[in-house]
Amino acid sequence: MSDLRRKVEVKYDVLKRGVKNNTLSINDIDHMSCELITFLAVLTDRGVTHIDEDNTVDRYKERVWNIVENAGLLPEL
């Protein structure tokens, strides 16, 4: 497993498990998701499109977005 994949997966897994197990506050979810999205945005700015041969940066962005949406962090329209 590459260092990049390990970094992304560790951050994502901590966020996902914390939300699933209800062990993170809304502020924690907000902070962790912003941190991960920022990391993914930097990768995108540097031209990185894949975490590994099977997973794209965009896929992880979508995964984080789904967590944010399901956690209720988006304002009502």
Q: Are 61 and 40 in contact (CB under 8 A)?
A: yes
Task: Give the whole-angstrom CA distance, residue 56 versus residue 76.
Answer: 29
Task: Give the whole-angstrom CA distance, residue 44 versus residue 65.
Answer: 16
Task: Give the whole-angstrom CA distance, residue 1 versus residue 73.
Answer: 32
What does the pLDDT read at residue 29?
94
Task: Give the whole-angstrom CA distance, residue 41 versus residue 19.
Answer: 22
Q: What is the pLDDT of residues 21-70, one digit of tens each?
A: 999 999 999 999 999 999 999 999 999 999 998 999 999 999 999 999 98
Domain segments of the chain as ranges: 3-71
What does the pLDDT read at residue 76?
79
Q: How confident is the model at residue 8 (pLDDT cuts 50, 70, 90)?
A: very high
What does the pLDDT read at residue 55?
93
